[in-house]
Amino acid sequence: MAKLVPENHPALHTIAEEFTAEEFADGTVTKVLKDLRQAIKTYKVDGFTAVAIAAPQIGMSKRMFIIEDQSSDSDRIPTVIAVNPKITKFSKKTHVVGEGCLSIPDQYGLVRRSTNVTLTATDENGVAYTRGAGGLLAQIIQHENDHLDGILFTDRAEKVWTKDEMKGDEKREAPLT
């Protein structure tokens, strides 16, 4: 069973490798996707559920992330499977948003992100696609793509709080990715 690796794991601090055509053909991509889905479903801390996870978070230095909202909200975030993703366009407009991370469960922070992005990737079958995203989805795509480049949200954060400092301050609540 795939599990989240600790914050100091080397996979979280190195640039992940792209999947090859052979890895699509031999089932490696399918296995990593299955492991990511398994790991994301197991996360629930203090009532928070996960919305996204990247392969480095389970110790695999490969370029894949999934966005798969585990909440029961009616306005759930759309599912995105991104293999070998690249953000090809960032809006000039930015905003500072709250973030949390499955890999750093005791910290939250404020991170400056572009309000809109364009993502180019392939799905689990190797079919290329391009999609735009705004708001929360754009933020999550940027956060997950950072994982593939060995960057944690705390590396970009303008301010970081511990979970204890956050207690009772709902204004800073952040999605866990």
Report how many helices (DSSP H) and strands (DSSP E) the chain contains, helices first: 5, 10
Is residue 126 assigned to a domain?
yes
Q: Quick check: is 144 catalytic?
A: yes
Please check whether residue 139 lies inside any domain of the structure.
yes
Handedness of CA 10, 142, 159, 75 (dihedral sign): negative
5 within some domain: no
Q: What confidence tens digit (pLDDT) does each residue in 108-122 have?
A: 999 999 999 999 999
Among 23, 68, 99, 144, the one annotated catalytic: 144
- Report if residue 4 sits inside a domain: no
Instruction: Tell me the per-residue pLDDT of 48-98, one tens digit each, with 9 for 90 and over.
Output: 678 999 999 999 999 999 999 877 776 778 899 999 999 999 999 999 999
> Residue 75 sits in a domain of what CATH number?
3.90.45.10
User: Domain total for the chain?
Assistant: 1
